[in-house]
Amino acid sequence: MKSSEEIKNDFPILKNRNLTYLDSGATTQKPIQVINAIENFYKNYNANPHRGAYSLSIEATEIYENTRTKIANFINAKHREEIIFSKNATESLNLIAYSYGLNNLKQDDEVVISIMEHHSNLVPWQKVCKQTGSKLNYMYINSEFELTKEEIESKITDKTKIVCITHVSNVTGTINDVKNIIKYAHKKGAIVVVDGSQSIPHMKIDVQDLDADFFVFSGHKMFAPLGIGVLYGKREILNNMAPFLMGGDMIEYVYEQDTTFAPLPNKFEAGTQNVEGVVGLGAAIDYIEKIGYDNIQKIEKEVVQYAVEELSKLDYLTLYISPNKENHSSVISFNINGVHPHDVASILDSENVCVRSRKSLCTTTYEIFRN
């Protein structure tokens, strides 16, 4: 088992820039194993998958498609074609909003999201609701930054068609009980979109156990390069959806006035894909599996506990985390009383400490802090 010191040594930038990097929620740094995998791809395998009849292109296709299978296994998808490559979680969510939301929502239907959603799981639904005449309803959090059963069950109704929920909040670190939310939403006839961007770097994901209809995540928050993301969707739902982007490789036959589309997964992967990103994501998954989620959680628990203990000693600092340790991942939000976060970040930056600062990414969640 790798120690935290050995793991730290895998990340060249930490040494090269002498960093204390505490902003992995925004994007993780990349281990040498991922960097090497990308270099190796360009030195030995680069070609356009699915295009050429020459062996190099076939090898590139194999690498690309084998990674799809690797991801399917990693999150326990039933079928490999349920894995669609995208640019990031944001694009995956837009794909769902446009291809599923716009075509399935009607006047007076309801979409339910939580107040702790990232803008990427909020703004697309605002647009889709406006366009279809559906209503966008919010589940609010209590003073411990958690969604109560009562809140969930009062907001998800027989009119609800889509529920969107983040697995782990990027602001409070709250781990939402998505399995039970999904169970309840299904009872009411709604489908559920889970934003796993902040959970998949920290915990084992089993989409079949969760029974999620859609599960999305970004590669770059789990050690993979920027610009690669994943959309998981249940096969029967994806099969009934219209394509999102049109172009090469997502078609079956093209006539002058009409086109038939390729089957899954190509239907949703128009144009030349980010193969470098896919290779990097494959290497990132190998890296996570080599360390093991058990080990990741053990180290995280120690670090979070230490940080919370030490930060709690500072009387000029306010912490915004759930007191319920079991429901808290590794995001630690805090405020230095009377000092604007942007000033705090500049001062920490002068000591090479990288933290996220702002009135959080989620304006809506931030309003709760202020009130």
Partner 1 sequence: MEDLTDVYNDLIMEHSMNSYNKRKLEKADCSEMGHNPNCGDEITLELKMNGNIIEDMAFSGHGCAISQASTSIMIDTLKGKTIEEAKDIIKTFIEMIKRETTDEEELKKLEDAIAFKNVSNMPARVKCALLAWHTMENMLDNFNKN
Cβ proximity to partner 1: between 255 and 316 the closer is 316
Cβ proximity to partner 1: between 274 and 333 the closer is 333
Q: How far apart are CA 251 and CA 361, in angstroms?
A: 37
Q: How far apart are CA 10 and CA 32, in angstroms?
A: 6
Per DSSP, 136 falls in state: E
Q: How far apart are CA 20 and CA 191, in angstroms?
A: 41
Cβ proximity to partner 1: between 237 and 354 the closer is 354
Cβ proximity to partner 1: between 237 and 336 the closer is 336
- Binding partner 1 (rule: CB under 8 A), the pick from 341, 356, 362, 368 is 341
Per DSSP, 227 falls in state: T
Q: Which of 211, 118, 122, 108 is nearest to 161 (CA)?
A: 108
Cβ proximity to partner 1: between 252 and 343 the closer is 343
To partner 1, the closest distance from the beta carbon of 146 in angstroms equals 25
Length of the chain: 371
Question: Contact at 8 Å (CB) between 244 and 99?
Answer: yes
Question: Could you tell me how many residues of this chain bind partner 1 (CB under 8 A)?
Answer: 14
- Binding partner 1 (rule: CB under 8 A), the pick from 342, 364, 369, 371 is 342
All residues at 6 or more sequence positions from 80 whose CB lies less than 8 Å from its CB, including other chains: 68, 69, 72, 265
Cβ proximity to partner 1: between 118 and 328 the closer is 118
CA distances from 236 to 73, 231, 250, 264 (A): 19, 14, 18, 10
To partner 1, the closest distance from the beta carbon of 342 in angstroms equals 4
To partner 1, the closest distance from the beta carbon of 9 in angstroms equals 25
CA distances from 151 to 85, 129, 200 (A): 34, 21, 25
Q: How far apart are CA 197 and CA 229, in angstroms?
A: 9
Q: Which of 210, 289, 226, 208 is nearest to 89 (CA)?
A: 226
All residues at 6 or more sequence positions from 119 whose CB lies less than 8 Å from its CB, including other chains: 361, 362, 363
The reply to whether 350 sits near partner 1 by the rule CB under 8 A is: yes
Residues numbered 310-339 forming contacts with partner 1, rule: CB under 8 A? 339
Residues numbered 137-176 forming contacts with partner 1, rule: CB under 8 A? none
Only segment of 39-47, 97-105, 235-243, 345-353 that touches partner 1 (CB under 8 A): 345-353
- Binding partner 1 (rule: CB under 8 A), the pick from 343, 356, 368, 369 is 343
To partner 1, the closest distance from the beta carbon of 358 in angstroms equals 5
The reply to whether 359 sits near partner 1 by the rule CB under 8 A is: yes
Cβ proximity to partner 1: between 299 and 361 the closer is 361
- What is the binding site for partner 1 (CB under 8 A)? 339-343, 346-347, 349-350, 357-359, 363, 366
